[in-house]
């Protein structure tokens, strides 16, 4: 009996110790716990093959409309992504292609900072704005040698705007800037006003030489203030200190024409030929600088009238060739002398007889 009693006492002590002892942790074996057994509560320091939970505060919320997260650190997004609302980038945005699709005419595309293109060790050559399609490529890019902005298309300004350099207009819709001093224009329309300072060259034919103040047409070596040249003959108008002159500089005859017909001709040797009848309104002098006003014709030397020579002498000629009918008028007529002498036989000087005796 005593043994049974001691055994029961030992059992009671063991049960008492078991009752006062904390319950041991439940041991969950691998793949023993399913999602259906978890509802509510928190799982801390959760880790799996693809997830490591080190957060001490709530960071990620999964709701019916999607995942809500305040801050995300993502190295790479492998698939396409759609942003339904605004996207703000405070760092550098690097893109191999940037496309903007307008969904509504009310959408405004705004960029508040400059659009920058960077190169590594040199300027960003061949970078800029490029529009492409399946058939064409339009460019506005930076080129080198020399550095310049290249546009593959025309640049169309508003009609009230202009191209400027250093705040000065160089080209507007209707005019060149006042500061334009050099130009190689190939073709002009109708000019209303033209002021030229310096040399002028029109097609290598019409030239103005500013240093000599000469205007020439077709001349490489003008000889007058105005020179015209054709077929190696040059016509000039020029002036010296007192007088003006005009005519041919080269050995060519000069013809004054009307109705494409020569009226007065001057040969290269100086012979003047009047081809048409002429009218002189005043007295005419031949070898006389001062024609006498009481006669129409003043001749300083001998004359030939209908192929007969007439001259004035003090007597019969002693030298020279004369023809029959030539007359010498007496330069010193007196009573009893003769008015003159007539050649009755040609020769050198020929045979002469007096005529027209003057009465005493």
- pLDDT string in tens for the chain (360-residue length): 677 777 777 777 777 777 777 767 767 777 666 666 666 667 777 677 778 888 888 888 888 988 888 888 888 888 988 888 888 888 887 877 767 665 555 655 566 778 888 888 888 899 999 999 999 999 999 999 999 999 999 999 999 999 999 999 999 998 888 888 888 888 888 888 888 888 998 888 999 999 999 999 999 889 999 999 988 889 999 998 889 999 998 888 999 999 999 999 999 898 999 998 888 888 888 888 888 888 988 898 899 989 999 999 999 999 999 999 999 999 999 999 999 999 999 999 999 999 999 998
> DSSP state, 84?
-
Q: What is the pLDDT of residue 5?
A: 76
Q: What is the pLDDT of residue 7?
A: 77
Q: What is the pLDDT of residue 108?
A: 59
Q: What is the pLDDT of residue 153?
A: 94
CA proximity to 146, closest of 171, 125, 127: 125
How far apart (Å, rounded) are the C-alpha atoms in residues 88 and 111? 11
Phi, psi of 18 (to 5 degrees): -65, -40
Report CA Rg, the chain: 61
227 and 216 Cβ atoms separated by less than 8 Å: yes
* Degrees, nearest 5: CA angle 247-250-252: 75
């Amino acid at each position: 009996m005593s043994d049974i009693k001691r055994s029961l006492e030992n059992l009671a002590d063991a049960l008492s110790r078991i009752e006062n002892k904390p319950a041991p942790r439940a041991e969950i074996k691998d793949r023993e716990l399913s999602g259906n057994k978890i509802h509510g509560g928190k799982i801390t320091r959760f880790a799996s093959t693809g997830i490591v939970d080190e957060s001490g505060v709530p960071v990620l919320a999964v709701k019916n409309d999607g995942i809500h997260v305040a801050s995300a650190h993502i190295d790479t997004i492998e698939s396409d992504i759609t942003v339904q609302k605004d996207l703000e980038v405070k760092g550098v945005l690097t893109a191999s292609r940037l496309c903007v699709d307008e969904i509504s005419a009310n959408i405004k595309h705004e960029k508040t900072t400059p659009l920058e293109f960077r190169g590594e060790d040199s300027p960003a050559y061949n970078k800029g704005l490029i529009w492409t399609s399946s058939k064409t490529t339009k460019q506005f890019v930076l080129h080198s040698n020399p550095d310049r902005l290249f546009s593959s298309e025309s640049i169309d300004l508003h009609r009230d705007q202009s191209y400027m350099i250093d705040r000065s207009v160089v080209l507007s819709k209707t005019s060149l800037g006042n500061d334009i001093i050099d130009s190689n224009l190939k073709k002009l329309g109708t000019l209303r006003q033209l002021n030229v300072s310096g040399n002028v060259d029109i097609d290598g034919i019409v030239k103005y030489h500013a240093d000599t103040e000469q205007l020439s047409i077709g001349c490489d070596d003008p000889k007058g203030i105005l020179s015209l040249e054709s077929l190696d003959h040059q016509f000039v108008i020029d002036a010296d200190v007192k007088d003006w002159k005009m005519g041919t500089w080269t050995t060519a005859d000069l013809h004054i024409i009307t109705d494409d017909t020569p009226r007065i001709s001057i040969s290269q040797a100086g012979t003047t030929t009047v081809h048409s009848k002429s009218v002189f309104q005043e007295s005419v002098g031949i070898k006389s600088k001062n024609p006498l006003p009481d006669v129409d014709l003043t001749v300083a030397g001998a004359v030939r009238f209908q192929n007969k020579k007439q001259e004035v002498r003090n007597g019969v000629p002693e030298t020279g060739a004369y023809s029959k009918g030539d007359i010498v008028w007496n330069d010193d007529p007196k009573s009893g002398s003769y008015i003159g002498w007539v050649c009755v036989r040609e020769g050198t000087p020929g045979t002469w007889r007096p005529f027209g005796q003057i009465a005493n």
